[in-house]
Amino acid sequence: MKQQLEEIKKSVEAQLASVQSIESLEEIRIKYLGKKGELTSILKGMGSLSAEERPVIGALANEIREFLSGEIDKKKAEMAKVIQEAKLKAEVIDISMPGKKSEIGNLHPLTKVLNEFKDAVIGMGFQIAEGPEVETDYYNFEALNIPKNHPARDTQDSFYVEDNIVLRTQTSPMQIRVMENTKPPIRIISPGRVYRSDAVDATHSPIFHQIEGLVVDKGITMADLKGTLETLIRSIYGENAKCRFRPHHFPFTEPSVETDVCCFSCGGKGCSVCKGEGWIEILGGGMVHPKVLAGCGIDPEVYSGFAFGIGLERLVMGRYDINDIRLFFENDVRFLKQF
């Protein structure tokens, strides 16, 4: 029996020398020292020994058990350390490496300039009124004094959803919607998307943006229109911006004007940006037609008003010297990142 014990000891020692994994180490522990293990079964057979032999063999067996158990623990600790070290090495973080930057986007140039514009008019007491892009023929044309067969409809063809429902060609229908629902004094702007059946080129897009303005009160005159527009143009183009007003015709204003800003590129001398004119047209406006006021239930004998409509793209193109309207809609980050 003593010999058997010594053999177990030797065999376990030999196996420990070549064991490769913690799992196989546990298998060795179970095989020899476990409840049904080889060493345990020898101890169970001690009943057959003589009274003198029993304590001697018992002591030896315990000694070997403790020794092997200690060796297995030691080996396990060694292996765990090696594994831990390998893991630390593999997961090492080089804090001197350059970090990953998370890119922060920026506002679209149209949004940026529109926000500036909103700030300027809010400072002047205006409110912002947004309206539907799918509009009825009545609001888009009829109520603005543009009846069926009026020539102004030719320049504003659009997508008809149904006979009398159209993708709005201008933000002017918001004048009507606001006047129908609000008692003067009225001071609003209405920015938004508009649609026209235009072929795409450097200055035309079937989708673009306008900012409508409307002021209705007692005693509003053309001087208010001029003063307001000059102030707004300076807030976008700078204190020294010059503008001029030319007579024009719109069916829903009387009298009507077109407003030009002195070319920001050449200062008025004439260049390719202003096509040699020295001036760039940026908006239409005028005194709200008495017929339009009356149609909305506002008495033109008591109230008067002015309105204007600005092309946002043109405003932004002038502001940043952008020469192609398509850039706004192509979403090329190389363009968008510049603002």
Beta-carbon contacts of 10 under 8 Å, excluding residues fewer than 6 positions away, are: none
Contacting residue, 109, 173, 192, 284, with ligand DAH by CB under 6 A: 284
User: Where would I find the H helices in 19-108?
Assistant: 22-33, 38-44, 53-90
Cα–Cα dist 67/272, whole Å = 97
The β-bridge relationship of strands 279-288 and 304-311 is: antiparallel
- Ranked by CB distance to ligand DAH, the top (closest) residue is 309
In this complex, which beta carbon is closest to ligand DAH, that of residue 237 or of residue 308? 308
* Nearest in space to 156 (alpha carbons), one of 284, 296, 332: 284
Q: Does 285 bind ligand DAH (CB under 6 A)?
A: yes
Q: How far is the CB of 271 from ligand DAH (least distance, A)?
A: 25
Stretch that binds ligand DAH, among 3-11, 96-104, 126-134, 305-313 (CB under 6 A): 305-313
Q: Does 184 bind ligand DAH (CB under 6 A)?
A: no
- Within residues 16-75, the interface with ligand DAH by CB under 6 A covers none
The β-bridge relationship of strands 186-195 and 127-128 is: parallel
Q: Does 279 bind ligand DAH (CB under 6 A)?
A: no
Q: How far is the CB of 285 from ligand DAH (least distance, A)?
A: 4
CB-CB neighbours of 255 under 10 Å: 14
Dihedral (Cα; 252, 309, 286, 318), 10-degree rounding: -150
- Within residues 207-266, the interface with ligand DAH by CB under 6 A covers 212, 250, 253
Is residue 144 a contact partner of residue 252, using CB atoms and an 8 Å limit?
A: yes
Give the total of residues touching ligand DAH (CB under 6 A). 11
Q: How far is the CB of 100 from ligand DAH (least distance, A)?
A: 47
Is residue 115 a contact partner of residue 212, using CB atoms and an 8 Å limit?
A: no
Stretch that binds ligand DAH, among 102-110, 127-135, 302-310, 328-336 (CB under 6 A): 302-310
Beta-carbon contacts of 324 under 8 Å, excluding residues fewer than 6 positions away, are: 202
Joined together, the tokens standing for residue 215 give 């002021």
* Nearest in space to 181 (alpha carbons), one of 297, 309, 306, 291: 297
Stretch that binds ligand DAH, among 37-45, 106-114, 262-270, 279-287 (CB under 6 A): 279-287
In this complex, which beta carbon is closest to ligand DAH, that of residue 39 or of residue 259? 259
In this complex, which beta carbon is closest to ligand DAH, that of residue 109 or of residue 285? 285
In this complex, which beta carbon is closest to ligand DAH, that of residue 28 or of residue 316? 316
Q: Which residue is associated with the tokens 């009943």?
A: 47
Joined together, the tokens standing for residue 205 give 């897009």
In this complex, which beta carbon is closest to ligand DAH, that of residue 109 or of residue 286? 286
Q: Does 313 bind ligand DAH (CB under 6 A)?
A: no
- Contacts with ligand DAH, residue ranges (CB under 6 A): 170, 172, 212, 250, 253, 284-286, 307-309
